Amino acid sequence: MEIISDISTMQQRCLAERRKGRRISFVPTMGYLHQGHLSLLSEGKRRGDLLVLSIFVNPTQFGQGEDLDKYPQDMPRDAQLARDLGVDLLFTPNKQDIYPVGYATYVNVEGLTDNLCGANRPGHFRGVTTVVAKLFNIVQPDVALFGRKDFQQLAVIRRMTCDLNLPVEIVGMPIVREADGLAMSSRNIYLSADQRRQGVALIDAIRLVKKELNQGQSDAATLISLVEGRIGQEPEASIDYVQICHADTLQDMDRVTGDSVLLLAVKVGSTRLIDNHYLCEEV
Ligand code: AMP
């Protein structure tokens, strides 16, 4: 595995591979890799000839007072995991190269970013789409893989890729969970043992909704109040949002249909956890 930090070296290297006719798979991350990231890499390996992983803690997607300065990092461990998984190129750019002095260009997807995390984290998606567009221009992938754990992010990236005619196939991958159902996240490390136990309330709430739905309840407000009740049982948990939305438009729905997704963001202590579930699928 080659590790490259320099942007133009990376761009030239990827261009040369494309010219040889090799299909490039790309997985962008902020590092501190877990099984969720590794599932994306395994699928990327299957779908391309050259597997590229980027690790970049992107400052423009963090708001004021968020965890940019303490975001967990362990590059030696990540590099070993990437090597073991068959990553060919690991791209680790510097912040000052991605956003040099005078940087002034941002990509903004309208509409889809107004609701959910967009309402809770102003500017977050502008940072995500900007860095993903830049990374796509550097790596020039044929296919890029993203997790459905960040459901809104995936929808926003699909929209951007389509709207800007970027020649990249976007693949959404299932959520990988811990044995007790907590969605894996680099941020789970912030949780104390007791908070970690409380974090299971998110999947419990999803299961409650699913059960009620199977018994014929499809009123969104009723199902949402079930989630609120379950999360409310945990002493350190506070809800950012619980919504039932259309999977494509991310608009709120009054009744659950085959296109509905339940999305939740919950703070446990100061750690923000997100989760979601397509309500037509089994938990
Ligand atoms: P991050 O490093 O948190 O920016 O995540 C990088 C990619 O991994 C994104 O596409 C995430 O959606 C995906 N990802 C993070 N956690 C999970 C998970 N538990 N299951 C599947 N994909 C995930």
Strand, coil or helix: what is 63? coil
Ligand 1 contact via 146 beta carbon (within 6 Å) = yes
Task: Tell me: do 206 and 166 sit in the same domain.
Answer: no
Cα of 78 vs its chain's centroid, Å: 18
Task: Tell me: do 88 and 204 sit in the same domain.
Answer: no
Ligand 1: atom nearest CA of 30 is: 2
Annotation marks residue 277 as catalytic: no
Q: Residue 276 pairs with which residues in a beta bridge? A: 263
Amino acid letter for position 3: I
- 16-68 pLDDT, tens digit per residue, is 999 999 999 999 999 999 999 999 999 999 999 999 999 999 999 999 999 99
| Structural domain harbouring 147 | 2-173
Give the Å distance between the CA of 34 and the centre of ligand 1.
Answer: 9
* Cα-based torsion angle of the residue sequence 201, 280, 175, 42 in order, rounded to the nearest 10 degrees: 160
DSSP output for 185-249: -GGGGGS-HHHHHHTTHHHHHHHHHHHHHHTT--BHHHHHHHHHHHHTTSTTEEEEEEEEEETTT
Ligand 1 contact via 56 beta carbon (within 6 Å) = no
Evaluate whether residue 179 is within a structural domain.
Answer: no
Ligand 1: atom nearest CA of 150 is: 12
Model-wide pTM > 0.95: yes
Band (pLDDT 50/70/90 cuts) for residue 214 is very high
Task: Tell me: do 167 and 254 sit in the same domain.
Answer: no
Q: What is the pLDDT of residue 234?
A: 98
Give the Å distance between the CA of 172 and the centre of ligand 1.
Answer: 10
Q: What is the pLDDT of residue 54?
A: 99
Ligand 1 contact via 155 beta carbon (within 6 Å) = no
Q: What is the pLDDT of residue 41?
A: 98
Ligand 1 contact via 250 beta carbon (within 6 Å) = no
Q: What is the pLDDT of residue 283?
A: 81
Ligand 1: atom nearest CA of 148 is: 12
Task: Tell me: do 117 and 224 sit in the same domain.
Answer: no
Give the Å distance between the CA of 37 and the centre of ligand 1.
Answer: 6
* Residue nearest (by alpha carbon) to ligand 1 atom 17: 36
- 122-156 pLDDT, tens digit per residue, is 999 999 999 999 999 999 999 999 999 999 999 99
Task: Tell me: do 194 and 157 sit in the same domain.
Answer: no
Q: What is the pLDDT of residue 282?
A: 82
Q: What is the pLDDT of residue 110?
A: 98
- 218-265 pLDDT, tens digit per residue, is 999 999 999 999 999 999 999 999 999 999 999 999 999 999 999 999
Band (pLDDT 50/70/90 cuts) for residue 280 is confident
Task: Tell me: do 96 and 46 sit in the same domain.
Answer: yes
Residue 171's CB: how many other CB atoms inside 10 A?
Answer: 16
Give the Å distance between the CA of 156 and the centre of ligand 1.
Answer: 15
CATH (domain of 136): 3.40.50.620
Ligand 1 contact via 260 beta carbon (within 6 Å) = no
Give the Å distance between the CA of 94 and the centre of ligand 1.
Answer: 21
Whole-number average pLDDT of the chain: 98
Number of domains in the chain: 2
Task: Tell me: do 199 and 132 sit in the same domain.
Answer: no
Q: How many CA atoms lie within 13 A of 159 on its CB side?
A: 21
CATH (domain of 238): 3.30.1300.10
Ligand 1 contact via 198 beta carbon (within 6 Å) = no
